[in-house]
Amino acid sequence: ETGVTQTPRHLVMGMTNKKSLKCEQHLGHNAMYWYKQSAKKPLELMFVYSLEERVENNSVPSRFSPECPNSSHLFLHLHTLQPEDSALYLCASSQSGREQFFGPGTRLTVL
Amino acid sequence: GENVEQHPSTLSVQEGDSAVIKCTYSDSASNYFPWYKQELGKRPQLIIDIRSNVGEKKDQRIAVTLNKTAKHFSLHITETQPEDSAVYFCAASRADSNYQLIWGAGTKLIIKP
């Protein structure tokens, strides 16, 4: 695998389920990101993990919980989601402030 | 708070014509301005970027111009081709972060044959 990979690619879950999204980067980068992409809205940064920064967007509900065990892996744990959380969730990585490389995304549908 | 405004939201041009997408940013300390292209069903990919110490950068058919005084930057695509059809996002760096970008809402570019 090369670049940034994400699993699963598609996920359908009920509001009471617990699931996790996984992201892995094979680029040796030092920062990883979770974005939410909804139709006709800007890319919404949810979380950034790097050695220097850990940023959590204050507007992200606590039902989204990130985990970054090392510089190559990033998880997004989901629990008791709402239908409005349905979106494309994109993971990205970068080397410091340079180009962000995106994964293919996970298309999440909350029923 | 900081924001980036992007216009137009949709742009339709005849194949072979030029397309221009404009973005305005609010943080005068922003110093890095990338442009990403997202084809339907695919991930965003960087197509060109510019730093605040230059006013223009060109790569074949695409170019980006930056006006720091007016706090706006533009993407120019010449001799448009069908494969240019996509959503284009501009972004500006946050002055207080080495990693975060502030994103525009995107422009859907449609190339008419």
Specify the pLDDT at position A1: 59
CA-nearest residue of chain B to A56? Answer: B100
Rg of chain A taking only CA atoms, in angstroms = 13
B4 contacts in chain A (CB < 8 Å): 42
B14 or A15, which is more confident? B14
- Report whether pLDDT(B10) > 90: yes
| Residues A104 and B43 sit within 8 Å (Cβ to Cβ) | yes
Separation CA A57–CA A37 (nearest Å) = 14
What does the alpha-carbon distance between residue B39 and residue A7 come to, in Å, rounded to a whole number?
20
CB contact under 8 A, A97 and B98: yes
Amino acid at A97: G
Residue of B nearest to A29 (CA): B99
Count residue pairs from A and B with Cβ separation < 8 A.
53
How confident is the prediction for chain A on average, in pLDDT?
92
C-alpha to C-alpha distance for A4 and A26, rounded to whole angstroms: 6
What is the rounded average pLDDT of the residues B71-76?
Answer: 97
- The residues facing B92 across adjacent strands are B102
The residue-averaged pLDDT of A82-91 equals 96
| Partner A contacted by B4 (CB < 8 A) | yes
Interchain contact, A90 vs B4, CB within 8 Å? no
**Which residue from B34, B97, B98 is facing A99, i.e. has the nearest CB?**
B34
Q: Would an 8 Å CB–CB cutoff place B98 in contact with chain A?
A: yes
What's the pLDDT at A105? Answer: 96
pLDDT for B58 equals 97
DSSP-derived letter for residue A80 is S
Tens-digit pLDDT profile for residues B37-60: 999 989 999 999 999 888 999 999
Which pLDDT belongs to residue B63?
A: 98
pLDDT score of B26: 94
Query: Does residue B100 belong to the interface with chain A, where contact is any CB pair within 8 Å?
Result: yes
Residue B94 backbone dihedrals phi, psi, to 5 degrees: -90, 135
- Give the tokens for residue B17: 């014509």
Give the contacts of A85 (CB within 8 A, at least 6 positions apart): A63, A64, A78, A108, A110
The reported pLDDT for the residue numbered B23 is 98
Of residues B1 and B53, the one with the higher pLDDT is B53
CA A56 to CA A45: how far, in whole Å?
A: 9
Rounded to a whole number of angstroms, the distance from the CA of B54 to the nearest CA of chain A is 16
Distance from CA of B80 to the nearest CA of A (A): 23
